[in-house]
Amino acid sequence: MTTSVVGIDIGCSVLRAVEVSDPQSAKPMLLRYSQIGLPEGAVDSGEVIEPNTVAAALKQLWSSGGFKSRNVVLGMGNQRVLARDLSVPKMSLARIRETLPFEVQEMLPIPVTEALLDFYPISESEGENGPVINGLLIAAVKSAVLANVKATQLAGLTTVDVDLIPFALSRILVSRPGIAGTVALVDIGGSTTSVVIATNGVPQFVRIIATGGDDISRALQDELKSAPEPAEAAKRGLGLATGTVPEADKRAVEVIYKIASEQLTSLRNTISYFVNTRPTNPVGQIVLSGRGAQLRGLPEALAEMTRMPVIVGDPFATVGLARDIDANDLRLSGSTYAVALGLALGSAA
């Protein structure tokens, strides 16, 4: 029996969803995709603040997008999620998860009772007291996760899994395409930027940075005393402009460059930190995704700043498309559906 699941990307101003059939197969099928806007304040940095408002938007999205499955996968990837290196004595993964509350309290900024914990194993090595498993501790604020799940419940949907957004992105843009070597995947969203560094498709390092494309839009609004729509249009139209700039646009270009330069410097420093702590594992290239990555000139600027090749990832390269999906129209969306698709493909439906 063919099964399908829907990955939902909850943004600050928009909900995006992708329905996929047989997500665990070699060639899953993308059945439908759609998005809908959200009122200001309903979501903050990926965390649902107004569950009833988001539930109403989800119901409308299901109607307008024609989604059939009511099983959904949600993602978490904001400042309420922590991912840190952790090595533990070798034991079963189930046993490791049982012991986490007693092992990691000092690593957490909140009481362990207020967090949801998981462990992602990466490798094995020999420690001072015997074999150890090296991996990533994943900790999320429980209330933030439950608020997002509550919104789906109010909409009549069933959350079958909650995944880390950087893992979902790595799955769709690095692991499934089979990109070899060590790759830095950078997803620039509206309010957060996710960085996951993977070696041969296996995540080694995760950081979530509390800046995104919306920071540029807000800076333009403040500096130019502009409404949101003209500021967004200026950002899209000008980007990191080069060459001669009309006098009327010079101030806007300066603002864009200032904020973008700060964000690019943060990305360079994050990647440099990984390289400096793992000198035998150099990063070979950067894969970009997300709405913020569509800023004109940004891939070239990131390549120049990091001295690394930069490519824009294609999230649809390893999935089939239903006959009624317009491939050209889908790709006009760039990689904005990458999170939702990666979430769906992580589910066993």
Whether the predicted pLDDT of 189 surpasses 60 = yes
Is 335:290 a contact under the CB 8 Å cutoff?
A: yes
CA 43 to chain centre: 16
CB-CB contact of 84 with 107 (8 Å): yes
What is the C-alpha separation between 240 and 297, in angstroms, rounded? 5
Asked if the model's pLDDT at residue 262 lies above 80, the reply is yes
Q: Which pLDDT score, from 0 to 100, does residue 341 have? A: 94
The predicted model gives 273-293 an average pLDDT of 90
Q: Is the pLDDT of residue 348 over 60?
A: no
Asked whether the beta carbons of 78 and 162 are under 8 A apart, the reply is no
Dihedral pair phi/psi, residue 318, rounded to 5°: -115, 15
pLDDT of residue 349: 47
Please tell me the distance from the alpha carbon of residue 25 to that of residue 5, in angstroms, as a whole number: 13
> Cα–Cα distance between 96 and 220 in angstroms, integer?
48
> Judging by beta carbons within 10 Å of its beta carbon (0-12, 13-18, 19+), is residue 120 exposed, middle or buried?
middle
Residue range 214-236: average pLDDT? 89
109-159: per-residue pLDDT in tens? Answer: 888 999 999 999 998 898 888 899 999 999 999 999 999 999 999 999 999
Task: Classify residue 333 by burial, with Cβ atoms within 10 Å: 0-12, 13-18, 19+.
Answer: middle
Give the model's pLDDT for residue 1: 47
Residue 268 is predicted with a pLDDT of 95
Give the DSSP H/E element, type plus range, for residue 78.
none
pLDDT digits (tens, 9 = 90+) for 51-104: 999 999 999 999 999 999 999 999 988 778 888 889 999 999 999 999 999 888
SS3 277: helix
Q: Which of 1-5, 64-68, 341-345 has the lowest mean pLDDT?
A: 1-5
Prediction pTM value:
0.86
- How large a percentage of the chain has pLDDT more than 90? 60
Residues 19-35, mean pLDDT to the nearest whole number? 92
> What's residue 327's pLDDT?
84
Mean pLDDT of 222-235: 87
Integer Cα distance of 270 and 131 in angstroms: 30
Considering just the CA atoms, what is the radius of gyration of the chain in Å? Answer: 20
Give the torsion through C-alpha atoms of 85, 259, 335, 82, to 10 deg: 20
Query: Contact 46/77 with Cβ under 8 angstroms?
Result: yes
